[in-house]
Amino acid sequence: MKSLAIAALLVAALPAAANAQVVNRIGNTPQARILTGAIVAPGAEIFHLSGQLASPIDPSKPATTVEAFGDTKTQTISIFNKIKTILAAQGYTMSDIFKMTVFVTAAPGMDGKMDFAGFNAGYGEFFGAAENPNKVARSTVQVAGLAGPNFLIEIEVTAARAKK
């Protein structure tokens, strides 16, 4: 009976162990918040998630204003929570993300520059953190505008896992 329980535990651990080998994450030297790159194993299932925008945080404000959605950090956290939900619905987790492209507009009060520190603060709550120690290969670019004047950031991700 004891060996049956041990065998069941080993079988339960197999998907996690297999998933750990799906993406070879190539770190930066010196250490950085992002990877140099990532190599996805042949046969992995890959999920390309379209760019996501923040959800409103203050419904009392007009939906066309930044105030309705928050600053760059707030919008970043909102987007990652949305991505987390979308991934979960498909059986993925945030730790399955290996590639990210981030589009950021000029933030109010930043003299026409993006709030990169605000984005990185939100990013740090989801990647290279206790809940998800993984980092991703990432590109971050400043753009002239997004789908509306209320949006400061849009994030698209690609995730991979072992085929089921």
pLDDT tens for the 164 residues of the chain, in order: 454 444 443 334 444 444 458 999 999 988 899 999 999 999 999 999 999 999 999 889 999 999 999 999 999 999 999 999 999 999 999 999 999 999 999 999 999 999 999 999 999 999 999 999 999 999 999 999 999 999 999 999 999 999 98
| Number of domains, the chain | 1
Structural domain containing residue 77: 2-161
- Predicted structure pTM score: 0.85
CA dist., res. 161 & res. 159, Å (int): 7
What CATH number should be reported for the domain holding residue 70? 3.30.1330.40
